[in-house]
Structure 1
Amino acid sequence: MQEAVASPLTGWANFYVIIGSAAAALTGLMFVVVTLIAGLRRRRSSGGINAFGTPNVVHFCVALLIAVTLNAPWHALWNAGLILGLCGIGGVAYIIIILRRALRQDDYTMVLEDWLWHMIIPFSSYSALVVAAILLSSHPVPALFCIGAVTILLLFTGIHNAWDALTYNAFDLHPGDSDQPLD
């Protein structure tokens, strides 16, 4: 019984080692970047960071959690499906919280690209994770491909959004102030 259950996950081990390592490294890098930016920019409300910075760390951590979950030695796929399903439900709820934060903050006005990368793609990813988690026991091969796609999408979303936030903070936040020292 264990061999039949372990076989679908075994083929994904290297994939999740790579994804998990990338997610962990990017999470650490976010701490470094935020620390460096905090020392260079003028003090503003934390609304922008809560709406546009913190979710990137969450997406990286969820990618890491998925990687760890699918590398664990499960005796039955439904156990992994339960963890992944809860992760997906938590992600959907978190995106709703982020939507509220983004609408309440006044540091930045979102454009179409922001709606896509900060709300629609993550919401769709976490929703797909819930569906794939439900189907994991009965249809492991397509569910695992869906979970793999979700994990990559969360990783790329975090990378895109982190880059977007970094360039905004570094270049667009105070245009014309490049010669002025920041307080």
Structure 2
Amino acid sequence: MAELAAWDSFYVIVGSAAGALIGLQFVVMTLVAARPLPRSAEVGATFATPTVIHFGTALLLSALLRVPWPSIISAAALWGLIGLCGVAYAVVVTRRMRRQDVYQPEFEDWLFHAMLPLAAYTILAISAFETPFRTREALFGVGAATLLLLFIGIHNAWDSTSYQVFSSKRDTKE
């Protein structure tokens, strides 16, 4: 399909990065599992699991946009569904952030764990609805949402890893 052909390299790069970062996230989680923080399951569901979901979504979108669809509308229907599911998931994560009491989220946490994912998934859903009317712009919306999810995942993976490292160092000094 001509509309997606120009995006080939973009999705190869983003998909490869997302796949590699998912693997790296599993390695990091395995390493920090030796010294889990108290009630880390609650914090993991709130902060770590969404990171893997965002990486997975970027990987899924990269794969879906390389499928030889008979029509762009078929692809748009799928990425729209992914966007709507992502909006619902962002709401769930926000509720978890409010309910958990292990860690007091700061503005940066709200930005990268609640607001930006909600924005990315909303852009994805809106792009699906705009595809029949503004295909080129819709594809840029999907690309922006996918890249935003990748960068959110990178930030959140780094943030959670550094939190684990510094919390672990603080615990050993006591």
So what's the TM-score if we normalise by structure 1? 0.90
Residue in structure 2 matched with residue 54 of structure 1 by the alignment: 49
Name the stretch that deviates more: 132-141 or 71-80. 132-141
- Quick one: which amino acid aligns to residue 150 of structure 1? A
Give the superposition deviation at 1:138.
2.4
Identity among equivalent pairs (%): 44
SS at match of 1:178: helix
Structure 2 gaps, min length 5: none
Give the superposition deviation at 1:175.
5.9
Note if contact 1:30-1:57 (Cα within 8 Å) is conserved in structure 2. Answer: yes
Structure 1 gaps, min length 5: 1-5
Residue in structure 2 matched with residue 9 of structure 1 by the alignment: 4
1:34 pairs with one of 24, 29, 42: 29
Residue in structure 2 matched with residue 105 of structure 1 by the alignment: 100
The structure that has the greater radius of gyration is 1
Taking structure 1 as reference, are residues 72 and 43 closer, same or farther at Cα in structure 2, changes over 3 Å only?
A: same
Give the superposition deviation at 1:128.
0.6
Residue in structure 1 matched with residue 70 of structure 2 by the alignment: 75
C-alpha RMSD of the superposition:
1.3
Q: Quick one: distance in 1 between partners of 2:71 and 2:133?
A: 11
Give the superposition deviation at 1:140.
1.3
1:154 pairs with one of 127, 146, 149: 149
Q: Quick one: distance in 2 between partners of 1:32 and 1:176?
A: 22
- Quick one: which amino acid aligns to residue 116 of structure 2? I
The C-alpha deviation readout for 1:73-103, integer Å capped at 9, x for no partner, is 0011110000000000000000111111111
Q: Quick one: distance in 2 between partners of 1:42 and 1:68?
A: 36
Kindly indicate whether residue 172 of structure 2 is the aligned counterpart of residue 178 of structure 1.
Answer: yes
Q: Quick one: distance in 2 between partners of 1:8 and 1:51?
A: 37
Residue in structure 2 matched with residue 3 of structure 1 by the alignment: none
Note if contact 1:85-1:134 (Cα within 8 Å) is conserved in structure 2. Answer: yes
Q: Aligned pair count?
A: 174
